[in-house]
A = this chain, B = another copy of it.
């Protein structure tokens, strides 16, 4: 059963190379058994935008392409993070690219930052899984060095706790701006299991023309 799924996935991926537009880069998540199933399939979600050399011709094709949304979904890499010891300035870095639209998003693995390559209106969403915290746990969705959204949990002290914290919002971003997740308190323990800690974005469309000079 899983095998069948796998085949369908592969066939689909091969077809991508024949397609004229929508260039595709395969992530090639390897080695992880889990990622050979569903996430591997998702791994095929790396594709491009329209050809900027032919911006007005082939309108039908364009319309088709226009319907291919630019999205990204990053997942935790199955590690446990002790903020104080493992992170510089609290920025989460251990992301695995499950899907990414390479013409619109660029992952900076070392810094943990997700750069947008096009001006636009973006929906940004994220979730962090707090494994244990003494009093309060909080993270911020940052745009460059400014907080955009904050997600906070507070619980009884002295007890082992498990809580996911989800937040999301819409923001105008300019090309070159970078999204990241900053854990606010140093004594927080984060579980970066793939279904519980993630960061994603959808480019909803063009920004107003202000900066489109």
Interface of A toward B, CB cutoff 8 Å: 1-6, 8, 12-13, 15-16, 19, 21-22, 24, 26, 37-38, 41-42, 44-47, 55-56, 59-60, 62-64, 66-69, 71-73, 99, 121, 123, 125, 127, 129, 136, 138, 140, 143-144, 146-156, 159-172, 174, 193, 195-196, 198, 200, 202, 204-213
Q: A13-B210, A22-B209, A209-B24 are in contact. Are A41 and B71 (CB under 8 A)?
A: no
Number of copies: 3
A147 CA / B42 CA spacing, docked (Å)? 13
Query: Would you call B165 and A164 a contact (CB within 8 A)?
Result: yes
How distant is A56 from chain B, measured CB to nearest CB, in Å?
A: 6
Among residues of B, the one whose C-beta sits closest to the C-beta of A60 is B56
Query: Would you call A68 and B170 a contact (CB within 8 A)?
Result: no
Q: A73-B169, A147-B195, A196-B152 are in contact. Are A206 and B164 (CB under 8 A)?
A: no
Q: Which residues of chain B come closer than 8 Å to A146, judged between CB atoms?
A: 37-38
